[in-house]
Structure 1
Amino acid sequence: MSLSNDDNSKDEILTAARTEQFSKLFCELERCNEDEQMQKIEEINKLVEKMNKEEFESIFTEELFNKIHQMIEEEKMSLENAILLLKHFGYNKAKKSFLDYAFSVSFLSDRFEKMLVDEDRKNEEKNEKLLADICECYLLLCQKSIPDELLSIAVPCLLKFASKKKGNEEAQKEVEVALLALSNIVMWKIIEQKLYLKEIKEIIEYHQEHHNLTQLAYQSAWQFLIYRFIEDKSLEGMIVNELHFVEEARRKLEELTRFIDRKKEKEEDKKGKDTKEELIILRWIQTLNRYFLDCTMWNEDFIEHLYGIVQLFRAAKDNHREIGNEYLETLRFASINRYMTIDGLLKSGAINLFLEEMKQSTLDDDITWSCLHFYLNISERLKEKKKNEMEEAERKVLKRKIFERMEEDGFEDEIASLYGFMSFQNEKHLEGFSLNISDYFVNV
């Protein structure tokens, strides 16, 4: 998915044009009547769909959100139109996994927090649709740890909305937005199980049987649940044994990869433009990565799953560079987790794969970093002696097997050739690598 210089130049021109057009339309909003304003918001929303990360960061600033807050305050924009605008901002931000903290520190964020509490406290006059709209705007745009009081309102509200079992395309879209908003809650935030567990489990199980959710909605439901698992390991038995997360994730990744490849065979590839399916693949991989980093329920089936990830990397590496890099990250996360056995990594082909990548003449910085980190993890774990005699004997046999495989591929020479590159890697990734070459070797 790399671009030529001509393609880069064209993209820069388009980016500048979109940014200028956005600024022009936004400035005109407060001088329009409500109907004209709605039309301009629709134009703005179409522009937003095409924006990349850099455009988001340059346009969606604290000042912009404060301006929207002021326009609502001065009745230059109706709340309905503001929601139409903000929900679309947030939808595209969350779908593309952009990190943006501007809304979180704005006056608009404070306003929405107060609106959530005020609307929830109403009794017979409570407007459930308005409450859901406010929840979605707030969660889609927010990039901070949300107060427990607000989560106790927003999570049940959106799960109720997302529990619609059937519906037309418009209803499916509403469910998708609700689940995407829930998936945007920061991963380290602890949420009481009583607020979500029964409902999210039913949503996932119903889809597995009836296939009623969109691809993005289903992935978002899983992301919300896996993010809760990070701080609540009691969820793992259900995630693995009842909902079969790893199998589901791998199956979805295989389906989406085949779909993209078939699509590209039929039409000319638009270089550098991520398709909706590619964005969902990236979200699935990132969610799987978080699980592999923290999972404890290792079993032999995981070898098959890791083997599947190795094959998906091979299928993606030439045509989907960013996706291929993310698959390497999946295997790197697996190498960190002490519950993921090194023997399993060897049997799955992960160790061989990294050896192959180390020898590529076109190795880029990110892949170099992943490879170095992977083998540093492997080396450190193999050096740890076991107290159990049988396990210690197995460790020595495994060390010998991996040493011979690395020696056969000239691994030590490859590492030595990268020695001068390690300080650059440390600086680029803000993570300390050992500058002692022998730390990367498996010595017997």
Structure 2
Amino acid sequence: MTTTTPLRVALAGLGTVGGGVIRLLDANRDLITRRAGRPIEIVAVSARDRSKDRGVDLDRFAWIDDTRALADHDGADVVVELIGGSDGPALTLARATLAAGKGFVTANKAMLAHHGLELAQAAEAARVPLKFEAAVAGGIPVIKGLREGAAANAIARVYGILNGTCNFILSKMEAEGRDFAEVLAEAQALGYAESDPSFDIDGVDAAHKLSILASIAFGTQPAFADVSATGVRHVIAADIAEAAALGYKVRLVGVAEDGPGGLFQRVHPHLVPIDHPLAHVTGSLNAVVAEGNFVGRLFFQGAGAGDGPTASAVVADLIDIARGEYGAPYAMPAAALTAPSRADSGERRGRAYLRFTVQDKVGVLAEIAAAMRDAGVSIESLIQRGVTAEGSAIVAIVTHEAPERSVAQALEKLRGSQSLAGQPMWMHILG
């Protein structure tokens, strides 16, 4: 049933996504009204710089200098937060909005990863919606897919490519044979990477998103502190070339599984088999795979960032709220979310890719092979390629399936070896 009473929105943050939300509501106003059953209108906005030209008409909205005051705005039913940051103004606004009994929509994965349980409890206590589709994988409806579409399934595993910056860099390295530093500089020039790219290339951004997905998939309290994160800054062109020769692509993959040994969460570069769907996710795209016990494998792919896709997810949340369709933020009541124990990754069995930069001299391969043998790790293949002007060579090893603890022991035996130049690279093979 359609009503003329609008859903009134206060918008905090007028960056790329905030401007995208305004443009989307303008461009698709009639369609959104029909789908929501009522108009959705922005009534107030707040940002740091009032004078900045954002390419949209802001004169029709009330300007609020104090972002915190949006929570108490008499004309607003819902607050949308697009400021960012795990704490500070974003968290202050979230707490104040829920305390005021208003709905809250956010794209802030860092805040949810650190404070999601607290905010879910506050939203449920106030009986108001807390929605965050845009916080994970941009415009891909993966939160809705897990929370609603797969709600009847026990999820065995959720994993995927959760950071578009890293995927862009790895795809470029793969396509053009270039090294990491050069491609990162290009990504920064194109706006795919920040001037300080650490959150992206060290896996922190993907870890934030993975902790949210894991909570929804497994009914556990968000546990970002338990996510083991390693990024892509140490991947070199030779790794990608070796992976291709072996029938794999290199991707930064976040993996979460809940089992008898606890909740396992890790973001790490992986070798992905060429016949796996994730191997064909290129550029800045994101993709998420969820494995349900009745529905089977679900595959979500699309744009993981940008003004259009992220704004699309924000407005989709607003449409749900306008319809009165919202439930527990993490798919079940906060009181039902279990406190997870951290799984011991050393017990996990799998195949590994190991890359060493070594001195080109007699006995190096025997030293590496002996370390593997002593740790109980069987070598499936070993390749040595090239000698540089400095007299070093690349040795790449693929192991047979072994406990991760054993592989770690083998690498520890080689620590400090005079035959090795720098630290070895360890990538898991997605199985």
Q: Give the TM-score taking structure 1 as reference length.
A: 0.29
1 or 2, which has the higher helix percentage?
1
1 or 2, which has the higher strand percentage?
2
Q: Give the TM-score taking structure 2 as reference length.
A: 0.30
